[in-house]
Protein backbone atom coordinates (compact mmCIF):
# COMPACT_ATOMS: atom_id res chain seq x y z
CA UNK A 1 0.00 0.00 0.00
CA UNK A 2 1.15 3.52 -0.75
CA UNK A 3 0.80 6.78 1.18
CA UNK A 4 -2.00 8.99 -0.21
CA UNK A 5 -0.05 12.12 0.85
CA UNK A 6 3.40 11.57 -0.63
CA UNK A 7 3.17 8.28 -2.55
CA UNK A 8 5.82 6.45 -0.48
CA UNK A 9 5.47 2.83 0.53
CA UNK A 10 3.61 2.36 3.84
CA UNK A 11 5.55 0.29 6.36
CA UNK A 12 4.20 -1.67 9.34
CA UNK A 13 4.47 0.11 12.70
CA UNK A 14 3.34 -0.55 16.27
CA UNK A 15 1.71 2.15 18.37
CA UNK A 16 0.14 1.43 21.77
CA UNK A 17 0.14 -2.34 21.00
CA UNK A 18 -1.80 -1.67 17.76
CA UNK A 19 -0.43 -2.66 14.40
CA UNK A 20 -0.84 -0.04 11.69
CA UNK A 21 0.72 1.18 8.47
CA UNK A 22 2.68 4.42 8.55
CA UNK A 23 4.77 6.68 6.37
CA UNK A 24 7.85 8.81 6.99
CA UNK A 25 5.78 11.93 6.21
CA UNK A 26 3.62 11.26 9.30
CA UNK A 27 0.60 9.62 7.68
CA UNK A 28 -0.87 6.66 9.63
CA UNK A 29 -3.51 4.17 8.54
CA UNK A 30 -5.12 1.76 11.01
CA UNK A 31 -7.03 0.00 8.19
CA UNK A 32 -4.70 -2.73 6.95
CA UNK A 33 -6.94 -3.47 3.97
CA UNK A 34 -6.94 -7.20 4.62
CA UNK A 35 -3.13 -7.28 4.87
CA UNK A 36 -1.52 -9.26 7.64
CA UNK A 37 1.58 -8.01 9.43
CA UNK A 38 3.88 -10.86 10.40
CA UNK A 39 7.13 -10.44 12.32
CA UNK A 40 10.06 -12.71 11.45
CA UNK A 41 13.11 -12.67 13.67
CA UNK A 42 16.39 -13.93 12.26
CA UNK A 43 18.53 -16.17 14.37
CA UNK A 44 22.27 -16.52 14.14
CA UNK A 45 23.38 -19.37 11.96
CA UNK A 46 25.84 -21.80 13.49
CA UNK A 47 28.89 -22.44 11.34
CA UNK A 48 29.91 -26.10 11.27
CA UNK A 49 33.59 -26.73 11.98
CA UNK A 50 35.14 -30.02 10.88
CA UNK A 51 36.40 -31.59 14.11
CA UNK A 52 36.21 -35.25 13.25
CA UNK A 53 39.10 -37.20 11.85
CA UNK A 54 37.47 -37.24 8.38
CA UNK A 55 40.26 -35.04 7.04
CA UNK A 56 41.18 -37.61 4.40
CA UNK A 57 37.88 -36.72 2.66
CA UNK A 58 38.84 -33.02 2.42
CA UNK A 59 41.13 -31.59 -0.28
CA UNK A 60 44.68 -30.62 0.70
CA UNK A 61 46.22 -27.29 -0.33
CA UNK A 62 49.39 -25.27 0.14
CA UNK A 63 48.74 -22.89 3.05
CA UNK A 64 50.99 -21.85 5.92
CA UNK A 65 49.51 -22.51 9.36
CA UNK A 66 49.59 -19.35 11.51
CA UNK A 67 50.09 -21.48 14.64
CA UNK A 68 52.84 -23.99 13.78
CA UNK A 69 54.07 -22.86 10.34
CA UNK A 70 53.30 -26.17 8.58
CA UNK A 71 52.85 -25.68 4.81
CA UNK A 72 49.84 -27.99 4.11
CA UNK A 73 46.21 -27.64 5.19
CA UNK A 74 42.85 -29.22 4.49
CA UNK A 75 40.15 -26.80 3.33
CA UNK A 76 36.38 -26.50 2.83
CA UNK A 77 34.11 -23.63 1.82
CA UNK A 78 30.83 -22.51 3.44
CA UNK A 79 28.38 -19.75 2.54
CA UNK A 80 28.40 -17.76 5.81
CA UNK A 81 27.06 -14.43 4.54
CA UNK A 82 24.44 -13.28 2.05
CA UNK A 83 24.20 -15.14 -1.24
CA UNK A 84 25.69 -12.22 -3.17
CA UNK A 85 28.84 -12.39 -1.00
CA UNK A 86 31.66 -14.87 -1.66
CA UNK A 87 31.98 -18.08 0.32
CA UNK A 88 34.27 -18.26 3.34
CA UNK A 89 37.21 -20.64 3.02
CA UNK A 90 38.11 -22.58 6.18
CA UNK A 91 41.51 -24.22 6.54
CA UNK A 92 42.69 -26.89 9.01
CA UNK A 93 46.39 -27.57 9.50
CA UNK A 94 47.43 -31.07 8.51
CA UNK A 95 49.92 -31.25 11.39
CA UNK A 96 48.50 -29.43 14.48
CA UNK A 97 44.79 -29.40 13.44
CA UNK A 98 44.50 -25.61 14.00
CA UNK A 99 41.47 -24.16 12.13
CA UNK A 100 41.34 -20.66 10.61
CA UNK A 101 39.45 -18.66 7.96
CA UNK A 102 40.83 -17.31 4.70
CA UNK A 103 39.00 -14.17 3.53
CA UNK A 104 41.02 -13.57 0.35
Catalytic residue among 31, 46, 54, 85: 85
Closest CA to 3 of 31, 17, 24: 24
H runs (alpha helix) in 1-104: none
> Has 15 been annotated as catalytic?
no
Catalytic residue among 84, 87, 94, 102: 84
Strand 60-62 with 28-29, pairing: unpaired
> Has 102 been annotated as catalytic?
no
Kindly list the catalytic residues. Answer: 84-85
Amino acid sequence: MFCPKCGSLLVPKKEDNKKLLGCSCGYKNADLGGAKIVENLRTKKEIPIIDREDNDLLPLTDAKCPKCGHEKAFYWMIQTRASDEPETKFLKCEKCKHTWRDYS
